[in-house]
Amino acid sequence: MILSDDTPEEISSLIGETSPDLEKIQIYDDVIFWSFDRKAYQKCRWWKKTAAAGIAEKLTIRTAGTLIKMTGWK
């Protein structure tokens, strides 16, 4: 979930490319869906960059379970 006035596209651009074999992103409305290989998360490009200064305060990362509870999605 984005906490700043930035668009999902701007956030995605700040973070950069994903690791093609380990993670994927999909932008839908104002949300960036990010999936990754949990066994290899430390090798994922986005994993490292989401904690970087200038990016971490712009977003919050939630699991699918939390998203379902918050939104009622199924």
pLDDT in tens, 38-68: 898 889 999 889 888 889 999 888 888 887 8
Nearest to 24 by CA among 8, 10, 45: 45
Residue 3 lies in a domain: no
Cα–Cα distance measured from residue 53 to residue 2, given in angstroms and rounded to the nearest whole number: 15
Does the structure show a pLDDT above 70 at 17?
yes
Q: In this structure, is residue 1 part of a structural domain?
A: no
How many domains is the chain built from? 1
Domain range enclosing 26: 8-71
Residue 9 scores a pLDDT above 90: yes
What's the 3-state SS for 4-72? CCCCHHHHHHHHCCCCCCCEEEEEECCEEEEEECHHHHHHCHHHHHCCCCCCHHHECCCCHHHHHHHHC
15 occurs within a structural domain: yes
In a domain, 2, yes or no: no
Asked if residue 47 belongs to a domain, the reply is yes
Structural domain contains residue 65: yes
